[in-house]
Structure 1
Amino acid sequence: MKAVRFSRFGAPDVLELVDLPDPHPAAGQVRIAVRAAGLNTSDWKKRQGLMDQELPQTMGYEAAGIVDEIGAGVTDVAVGDRVFGFTAASGAQAEHAVLANYVPIPPSLDFATAAALPSAVETAARGLDQLGVEQGNTVLINGASGAVGAAAVQLAVARGARVIGTASAASHEFLRSLRAEPVAYGDGMPERVRALAPDGVDRALDVAGSGVLGELVELAGGPEHVITLADWAGAQRHGVRFSSGDAGRALYSLALVARLIEAGQFVVQVGRTFPLSDVAEAHRVGEAGSVRGKLVLLIE
C-alpha cells in the first residue's frame, strides 16, 4: 500500500509516498480502506523533529474509510461499514489503516468531514473534562475559531455552559453561529470579557497558546480553573495544568459527537482537501495558517 513517510527531519519536501506492507487488525481492531485522513499541527512538528526522534516515521492518527477487515471479537461493525476514528499507531495517511477506536460515520457526513473530527473533538472534550465544565458554568475559550476551539465551544454549549470565545473579528459571526459570545483577542481582552461577565468566568480553556495565561488565571479566579492545550512554558510559569492524553483520553467523544451531529447540534469545518500525493503542499498550507478549518488528505 502507499503511505506517507519521512526518513529525515526537515521541510515538507522530506515527505514521500512509499510502498509499505498492508497492516492487519489485532483483536478488537478494524482495518479500513482509508478515504480521508486528517492533518494536525503535530504532523509538521513531527516532521521537523520537534517531537518523536525515531526515523523513519509514518504519519497520521485519524482517518475515515470503509471497513475491509475485522479483528477477533469485533461485533459492532462489519466489512463494508463506514467508520471514523483513531489508529492503533501512526499511519493513517495511507491507503489502509488499522483503527483501535472507531464509531460509525453519521449518515449526513462525507469521509472528509468525518476524518476532520477525531483529534479536534477528543482534545476539546478532554480539556473540558479536566476543567470540570458543566451546566451553568461560564467558560472562556481562548482561540475559539480553530478546529479544536470550535469543537470545545460546541461541546461546552451541549453541556449547558455559557461560552465566551476569543477570535479575530472576521470569525465573530462564525462563533455566534455556534452559540458563543465572541470577543476580540489582543490588548484589552480581559476588559472585553468583563464587559460580558463582570464577575469573571468559572473556567478558561486556552487553545491558542497566545501568551495570555496570566489574564485567564485572573479572569477565572485562579490557576486551578484554567487548562491550556498549547502553552507548556506558560503553564509552568503560571501554575496552570497542561492537558495531554497521558492522563487518559476522552475517547467517548467520538460516539458523542456522532450523536450531536445527527441532532443538528455540532458542525465541523473542512478548510481544504488535498490528494494524498500532495501531502507536502498540505503541510506548507497548514504551517502558513492561512486556512480556517481542518486540512484533510483524500485517498481515492
Structure 2
Amino acid sequence: MKAIVQTEYGSPDVLSLQEVDKPIVTNNGVLVRVRAASVNAGDWRLMRGDPFLTRLMFGGILKPKIQILGMDIAGCVEGVGKDVTQFQMGDQVFGDLSECGFGAFAEYVCATEAALAIAPTNISFEQAATVPGAALTALQGLRDCGQIKFGQKVLINGASGGVGSFAVQIAKALGAEVTAVCSTNKMEMMKTLGADKIIDYTQTDITKNGQDYDLILDAAAYRSVFDYRSILKDGGTYVLIGGSISRLFQVMLFGSVISRIMGRKLKCLIAKPNRSDLIILKEMIEAGKITPFIDRTYSLSEVPMAIRQIEQRQVRGKVAISV
C-alpha cells in the first residue's frame, strides 16, 4: 500500500510517499480501507518532534517511532479479527487513531474497535474524517471541562480553526449564546456557523470589549490567562484547548494556583478519544446540528503541503486528505 512516511524529525520535507506493507489484521483489530483523513496540529508537532516532550510521550528520542502520521480517518471495513464484535465487512466508519498507533496517512490501517464508530450517513468521507479529533475536543472542552449550560454566554477564541469551528456549532446546539473571535477575513464563515456575535481581534481587544462570559474556550491561547480575568464572570470557567505550548504548561502546572488568585476556574483539556462521544457527534451531524467546514482537500501525496498550511495557521475550519 501507499503511505506518507517519515524516518527523521524535521520540516514537511522529511515526509515522502512510499510503498509499505499492508497492515495485518490482529485478533481484536479492524482493517480499514482509508477513504479520507484530516490534518491536525498534533501531526506537525509529531513530525518535528517539538516540543521535546512529544518525543518522550510517543517514543523516538532521536528518530520518530511513529513513522506514519495522521490520527483522523474515515473509510470502509475490509477485515475484522476473530474477537471483533462491533463491526463487519463493508461498514463505513470514522475514528481517532491517536491511542492505537496513528497511521491515517495511508491507504489502509488496522485500528482497535474502541477507536471507531459507524460514520454519519449524510456527509462525505472527507467531511467525516475531519470530525474525530477536532469535534471530540470541542465537545469535551465545552461539556466536560466547561460544564456548559443552556443560556450561558460563551466566548470561543480561535473560532475559525478546526476545533473552534466545531465548538461554535456545538455550543449553539447546547443552547449557549456564542461569541466567536476570529480575523477579518473569517467573519463571514462565523456567520455561516451560526455565531450570535463576532469579534474581529485585529480591530478589537477582546479583553476590553465591555462584555463578560460564563465560559471561555480558548483554542488560540497566545496571551496570558490573566488577561481574561476582566471578562470572565465570578465563578466562570476558562478552558484552554490549543495554542502556545508555554500557555499550555502554564495552565497544566499552575492552573489550580491561578484559579485561586483569579477567583475563576482555570482548566486545560486533555481530550480522551472514545466511541460513545463519536456516536454523539454522529447523531448531531445527522440531525443537522453541526456540519464540518473544510478549507480545502489534498490528495495523499500532498500531505506535506497540507501540513505546511496547518503550520502557517491560515486554515479556516479543517484540511482534509482524500485517499
> Is the aligned partner of 1:233 residue 2:249?
no
| d(CA) in 2 for partners of 1:249, 1:131 | 18
Contact 2:170–2:289 (Cα < 8 Å) also in 1? no
Change (3 A) 1:278 1:215: same
| d(CA) in 2 for partners of 1:262, 1:106 | 6
Change (3 A) 1:234 1:291: closer
Residue of structure 1 in register with 2:7 after alignment: 7
Contact 1:144–1:167 (Cα < 8 Å) also in 2? yes
Offset at 1:61?
1.0
Contact 1:272–1:293 (Cα < 8 Å) also in 2? no
Contact 2:117–2:275 (Cα < 8 Å) also in 1? no
Offset at 1:251?
4.7
Residue of structure 2 in register with 1:243 after alignment: 269
> Is the aligned partner of 1:62 residue 2:72?
yes
Residue of structure 1 in register with 2:165 after alignment: 150
Contact 2:161–2:315 (Cα < 8 Å) also in 1? no
Contact 2:165–2:317 (Cα < 8 Å) also in 1? no
Could you report, residue by residue, the CA deviation over 1:97-116 in whole angstroms, capped at 9, with x for unpaired residues?
Answer: 12332222222211111111
Runs of 4+ in 1 over 3 A off after TM superposition: 24-29, 72-76, 221-224, 248-251
Letter in 1 for 2:122: S
Change (3 A) 1:32 1:61: same
| d(CA) in 2 for partners of 1:45, 1:277 | 20
| d(CA) in 1 for partners of 2:283, 2:39 | 23
Could you report, residue by residue, the CA deviation over 1:261-284 in whole angstroms, capped at 9, with x for unpaired residues?
Answer: 111111111111221112222222
Change (3 A) 1:24 1:96: same
Identity over aligned pairs, percent: 32
> Is the aligned partner of 1:220 residue 2:241?
no
> Is the aligned partner of 1:116 residue 2:130?
yes
| d(CA) in 1 for partners of 2:140, 2:225 | 19
What is the TM-score when the length of structure 2 is the normalising length? 0.83
Change (3 A) 1:284 1:74: same
| d(CA) in 2 for partners of 1:123, 1:296 | 17
Equivalent of residue 294 in structure 2, options 260, 270, 278: 270
3-state SS in 2 of match to 1:121? helix
Q: What's the RMSD between the two structures over aligned residues?
A: 2.2
| d(CA) in 2 for partners of 1:152, 1:126 | 10
5 Å-filtered alignment, 1:35-50, equals 35-50=35-50
> Is the aligned partner of 1:206 residue 2:218?
yes
Could you report, residue by residue, the CA deviation over 1:107-147 in whole angstroms, capped at 9, with x for unpaired residues?
Answer: 22111111111111111112112111121221111111111
Unaligned runs of 5+ in 1: 195-199
3-state SS in 2 of match to 1:77? coil
Offset at 1:49?
1.6
Moved more, 232-241 or 144-153: 232-241
Residue of structure 1 in register with 2:139 after alignment: 125
Could you report, residue by residue, the CA deviation over 1:248-270 in whole angstroms, capped at 9, with x for unpaired residues?
Answer: 44653311221111111111111
Change (3 A) 1:46 1:150: same
Offset at 1:222?
5.9
| d(CA) in 1 for partners of 2:25, 2:235 | 43
Offset at 1:204?
0.7
Change (3 A) 1:131 1:251: farther
What is the TM-score when the length of structure 1 is the normalising length? 0.88
| d(CA) in 2 for partners of 1:250, 1:216 | 31
Residue of structure 1 in register with 2:308 after alignment: 284
